Structure 1
Amino acid sequence: MVAYVANKFGPGKEKFIDYIKESGISDKKNTAQAIWQVGKGDGVFLNLLNNDGSIKDFSFFKNWLSCK
């Protein structure tokens, strides 16, 4: 979700939190922040995302999305 939001709406925690609220996923900032922290943290650890949540490894996501 972090990669999707960063790619579609722009990187960064504030844009992500705004998306979570505006899309109706949650109206709570703490919930949005928890999703960001775990998603971004895992993505950075796996070397798939940059620190701002933007995609670092486009080939991974392209292959993952084309799996059947």
Structure 2
Amino acid sequence: MSKPTIHQKVSLIGSYVLVAAGLFGMLFCFPFLWSANMADLVGAGFPFVGGAILVAGGLLSLTLQANRQAGTNE
């Protein structure tokens, strides 16, 4: 197996940063989802869903990179 290129390293780091940012956004908004105020629910709901999308995108990217490194994606 060849040595990873700079593009692969940046992509791997970016995937981890994407997952971390999504988790941070979800955890930051989570307490506001328990509010009885509708404005708090809407204000926290959209970023929570956005964080979930970021986590899913980062995990998909990590999965594709792991397949490529293992050589199963030919």
Sort the TM-score into its range (normalised by shorter chain).
0.3 to 0.5
Question: What TM-score does the superposition give when structure 2 sets the normalisation length?
Answer: 0.32
Q: Which has the larger radius of gyration?
A: 2
State the TM-score, normalizing by the size of structure 1.
0.35
Structure having greater relative contact order (Cα 8 Å, sep ≥ 6): 2
Greater share of helix: 2
